[in-house]
Amino acid sequence: MRIAIYPGSFDPVTKGHLDIIERAAGLFDKLIVVVLTNPAKTPVFSVEERVSYIRRIVEKLDNVETDCFDGLLADYVKLKGAGAIVKGLRAMSDFEYEFQMALTNKQLNPEMETLFLITSAEYMYLSSSIVRQLASFGADISRFIPDEIRDIIVERLRKAGK
């Protein structure tokens, strides 16, 4: 069975992430979307919230699972017996950071590959932080957040005053 891991902060998951999930799910027997800690970020949503939002939007995809892990991605990949990490690439600005992470992960676990899917053009400039910022100013975020979770995210960000 070919298993791939799609890791990220997903704070919150966006339509851009969902696009990568759907495309990656078509390439592997199983895709595990995993919420990990990015030490450079302070998330607004709890791990449980982020996992529950992802679960809701991947319900219709039979070969996609959602999980969380507090540790190194390379260890998680080993734990799950996966052969690949999938990442989405937007602008060139993503590249250097992703390149560094891919090479580091390869050092930690030489048996796995990192595969990059180029973002669909409509999501090129989309990010979770932009979504949080738009919502904080009361802007309509329906273009960026999957319908199933839009209302709960708007409400949650309003409460957080974010």
Binding residues (CB under 6 A) for ligand PNS: these are 7-9, 36-38, 41, 72-73, 101, 104-105
Q: Rank residues 26 and 71 by Cβ distance to ligand PNS and give the closer one.
A: 71
Q: How far is CA 96 from the centre of its chain?
A: 18
**Given 2, 41, 158, 162, which residue is catalytic?**
41
For the record, the structure tokens of 152 come out as 């709960």
* CA gap 154, 141 in Å, rounded: 8
**Given 9, 15, 17, 87, which residue is catalytic?**
17
Q: Write the DSSP string, 26-71.
A: TTSSEEEEEE---TT---SS-HHHHHHHHHHHHTT-TTEEEEE-SS
* Least distance CB 138 / ligand PNS (angstroms): 25
Q: Rank residues 48 and 151 by Cβ distance to ligand PNS and give the closer one.
A: 48
DSSP state of 122: G
**Given 30, 56, 90, 143, which residue is catalytic?**
90
* Least distance CB 22 / ligand PNS (angstroms): 17
Q: Rank residues 7 and 64 by Cβ distance to ligand PNS and give the closer one.
A: 7
* CA gap 48, 68 in Å, rounded: 8
Helix boundaries (H) for the chain: 15-25, 47-58, 73-80, 95-108, 128-136, 147-160
User: Is 90 part of the annotated catalytic residue set?
Assistant: yes
User: Is 128 part of the annotated catalytic residue set?
Assistant: yes
Q: Rank residues 32 and 62 by Cβ distance to ligand PNS and give the closer one.
A: 32
**Given 9, 15, 87, 128, which residue is catalytic?**
128
Which residues are marked as active site? 17, 41, 90, 128
